[in-house]
Amino acid sequence: MTMNLPTIYVSHGSPMIAIEPGAAGAFMQRLGPAIEQAFGRPKAIVTISAHTAARVPVVLAGSRHEAIYDFGGFDPKLRTLRYDAPGDPALGARMLGLLQGAGIAAQSSPEGGLDHGAWTALRFMFPNADIPVVPLAFVPSDSPERQFALGTAIAPLVEEGVLVLGSGSITHNLPRIFATLKKPIAEQREAPEDSGFRQWMASRSAALDWNALFAYRSQAPHGADVHPTDEHLLPWYVAAGAAGRAGPALRIHDSGLDAYAFGSSAPRLADALR
C-alpha cells in the first residue's frame, strides 16, 4: 500500500453528530476504512479543527489526548463519550520544525486534548483510537491564503504516511441553523444561500481556482452570510495547502455537511468510497 495520502476536510456540524450521525456521520464511518483500504493505515493524524485556535499556530504535542467537551446546552449523553488517543511528541517536534523553517512563528505545547470538531470525526473514522494524533491550533484571524501556507509548511508529512484532517463546517450561519431546527422535520429545508455557496465551493475547487477560493467572502455567492466568521471554513484551506495547488480538490461527500479530499491521491480515495 502506498502512503501518499490525500488530505481531508470534513464537516462535523454540531457536537450532536456524535449521537445523531445522519448522512455525514455515516459517511465518516466509511471514510476511515476507505482510507485504510486504499492507502494503508495512517502512521499518525494531524488535526486542524475550527475549535482549536490560538494567537499563533501551536502544535499540541502531548503524549495522550482525551475528548474535550467544549460546548454547553446539548444532550448530556455527549459528555459520556470518550476518545482517548495517543499523542506523538516526536511528530509534534518535527511539525514545529517544518513550521518554523517556513518562517511561521509557531509554538509547541506539551498539553493534550481533542476538541469536539476533532474527536467526533475521529470517533467515526477510527473508533479504536489507536492512531497517534497531533492537533495543530491555527490563527482564526489569518486569511485563507495564510491558512493554505500553514498547510503547505507541513506538506512533507503527507508523504511520510501522516493523515492531515481538517474539521469544520462547509456552511455555518448559526442563527439560520437554529431557526431551521425549530421547524418540524418535514419543513426543514436547506437555505438557498447555503446550497448556492456549497455548489460554488465544489465548482471552484474542481477548477482549482485558488484565487477565487482565497477571496470566497467577496466572490462566492452569499460568502459572508454563510460564514459570518471564518473559523469553520479555515481548516479547509489548511488541508488543501498540505496537498498543494496542483490538486485535485474533490468534494467526496455532499449532504449539506460536505467533505473534501485534496491531492493526487484524492481520486483513488473517491473510488474507494463508491
* Statement: residue 177 has pLDDT above 80: no
Q: Which of 27, 3, 38, 39 is nearest to 259 (CA)?
A: 27
> Which domains are present in the chain?
7-181+228-273 (3.40.830.10)
pLDDT for 125-145, tens place per residue? 999 999 999 999 999 999 999
Question: What is the per-residue pLDDT for 1?
Answer: 47
Residue 181 has pLDDT above 70, yes or no: no
pLDDT tens string 102-119: 999 999 999 999 999 999
Burial of 221 (0-12, 13-18, 19+ CB in 10 A): middle
Q: State residue 3's pLDDT score.
A: 66
Binned at pLDDT 50, 70 and 90, residue 267 comes out as very high
Model confidence, pTM: 0.95
Residue 188 in grid coordinates: 426543514
Which pLDDT does position 182 carry in this prediction? 53
Sign of the CA dihedral running 60, 245, 249, 233: positive
The closest alpha carbon to 264, from 246, 239, 242, belongs to 246
Q: What is the mean pLDDT of residues 221-240?
A: 96
pLDDT tens, position by position, 49-90: 999 999 999 999 999 999 999 998 889 999 999 999 999 999
